[in-house]
Amino acid sequence: MSVEHVDSADDQPFYISAEKIYPQRVHGYFRRIKWALLVMTLGVYYLLPFVRWDRGPNAPDQAVLIDLPGRRAYFFFIEIWPQEVYYLTGLLVIAAMTLFLMNAIAGRIWCGYLCPQTVWTDLFLAVERFFEGDRHDRIELDKGPWTANKILRKTGKHLAWLVVAWWTGGAWVLYFGNAPTLVGQLAHGTASFAVYAWIGILTFTTYALAGHMREQVCLYMCPWPRIQAALTDEQALNVTYRQDRGEPRMSLKHSTKARAAGLPAGDCIDCHQCFAVCPTGVDIREGSQLGCIQCGLCIDACDTVMHKVGRPDGLIGYDNDINSARRVQGLVPVYHLVRPRTILYAAVIAIVGSVILYSLATRSFTGLDVIHDRNPILVQLSQGGVRNGYTIRILNKRPLERKFSLSVDGLPSGALLDAQGASTPAGGLPIVSVEPDKSLEARVTVTVPPPLHLPETTDITFRVVDIATGEKAVTRDFFKAPKPE
Ligand code: SF4
Ligand code: SF4
């Protein structure tokens, strides 16, 4: 039920209920692109968790996996540790720049073709059409009384929506565990509470956002239309109605008569097909609007009409403000897709992408972190020496068990490193084993025997070396000694 507060000054309501939109079925070039992208994106989303990727016996074989308990993310041949979260930062920068680049070239094509809200709404609309028919049938059905036929159609639609929404939530959780195992657990009702809770949340949000809220999400909830409006320029291509060709608009009958009489008549026959197919209820002939997601469906609708009435297509098309003005002046349109902002966005994408690729290609499979004890920061031994304590973490990023020798540089000869749980061959360095694809935390002490000729703080370097391959990792820290007298 809507609530309306009436402004006594000018009788304008503060709030008006959203009018339900009944987008009409449309065929054409942009509709086919949208279907292809819908199948591709949803296919990837639903099926990707089932793709396997062999990483050896000690690592999961799911190609894309976010292993929260194991604190790892796997993407085909890439394995990201928590310490490497900067890769995610790089990917976010690339994603943002790609969005900016798309916007600079063709406005909100992300919204019109790839945004999950658009893709799922398209799918839910297809389901709605299957059960309730096209625009006219749906309007009549909603207006009509609650007959058995209406109850059956509405029930079928909502059940089908819930199944799609449930599977959408179900697919999401498969990215966080072994997909076949989770499917088995779901089938037997033995999955964890968290799995059911997430599926429930995502089922509800998908059903509400794609089934009921649809264009309201784009109009009122999403920040991107406002951001992109600030980012765009007059060169960006947007779905545009060609005023110079379309006006003065009039019915086909009147335009035929007007042309026969030598009077001006635009190509627009005021058939409202462009408006009828619009998923956000925009009449593009009124100019560019916040509600337009640049999906191009009105282009398909209008081209179909133009073919039927024997006029050239393209009355609505992707164009920019500059060319709209040029056309009105009778000038030839010009396009500048390569301009400073598109070059800048492409350059940032290329640079960040190259840095990520280089970093991945040269990344080390061994890591070392060291934390110096704070309390006590040093221990003076009764024989005159000094001992410092540390906690070290050795990272083994390979899917096999490895042995590492531990050493420390920067201290006088005679300094001794001891590691908890290490074996120390006679005269050799302490050696620790680290399980495949795991990290090992160990307590380490470094002792400098007398006589002490050390400043209060000495810079030191810890080193771990894989005794089989020689692969190493180093990290700097410090050694504390008493203040020299
Ligand atoms: S579909 Fe084309 S001809 Fe029909 S109203 Fe829209 S712009 Fe005019
Ligand atoms: S006006 Fe045209 S391009 Fe814009 S949302 Fe509506 S159908 Fe899509």
Q: Is 294 in the pocket of ligand 2 (CB under 6 A)?
A: yes
Q: Which range is least confidently modeled, 156-160, 337-341, 449-453?
A: 449-453
Running DSSP on this structure, what letter comes out for residue 80?
E
Regarding the beta carbon of 219 and ligand 2, being less than 6 Å apart is answered: no
Q: Is 284 in the pocket of ligand 1 (CB under 6 A)?
A: no
Q: What is the CATH number of domain 366-480?
A: 2.60.40.10
- Ligand 2, atom 8, lies closest to the CA of 295
The mean predicted confidence, pLDDT, of the chain is: 92
Question: 179 CB under 6 A from ligand 2?
Answer: no
The pLDDT of residue 3 is 44
Q: At what angle do helices 179-188 and 148-174 cross, to 10 degrees?
A: 140
Distance from residue 293's CA to the centre of ligand 2 (Å) = 6
Q: How far apart (Å, rounded) are the C-alpha atoms in residues 176 and 204?
A: 19
| Phi/psi at 293 (5° precision) | -95, 10
Type of residue numbered 20 = K
Is the pLDDT at 368 greater than 90? The verdict is yes
Task: Say how many Å lie between the CA of residue 274 and the centre of ligand 2.
Answer: 8
CB environment 208-227: b (16+ within 10 A), e (fewer): ebbbebbbebbbeeeebbee
Rounded to an integer, the average pLDDT of 267-295 is 94
Q: Which atom of ligand 2 is nearest to the CA of 296?
A: 3
Q: What is the model's pLDDT at position 11? A: 67
Distance (angstroms) between ligand 2 centre and the Cα of 289 equals: 9
C-alpha 423 – ligand 1 centre gap (Å): 82
Contact yes or no for 419/442 (Cβ under 8 A): yes
- Give the residue-averaged pLDDT of 399-426: 91
CA of 276 from ligand 1 middle (Å) equals 10
Strand partners, 396: 366
User: Do the strands 238-241 and 316-319 form a parallel or antiparallel pair, or are they unpaired?
Assistant: antiparallel
* pLDDT bracket for residue 59 (50, 70, 90): confident
Q: For position 194, what pLDDT does the model report?
A: 95
15-57 pLDDT tens trace: 777 789 999 999 999 999 999 999 999 999 999 999 999 988 8
DSSP, res 115: -
Domain residue extents for the chain: 29-231, 238-328, 366-480
**Ligand 2 atom closest to 239 (CA):** 3
Q: Which of 5, 27, 79 lies closest to 395, judged by CA?
A: 79
Give CA–CA dist 107/295, Å, rounded: 10
Q: Give me 93's structure tokens.
A: 């920068």
Is the C-beta atom of 239 inside 6 A of ligand 2?
yes
Instruction: Give CB contacts under 8 A, 24+ apart, made by 230-235.
Output: 231/100, 231/103, 231/104, 232/103, 232/104, 232/107, 233/104, 233/341, 234/320, 234/321, 234/322, 235/104, 235/320, 235/322, 235/335, 235/336, 235/337, 235/339
pLDDT of residue 2: 44
Nearest ligand by distance to the CA of 21: 2
Q: Which is nearest to 118 in space by CA: 2, 258, 214?
A: 214
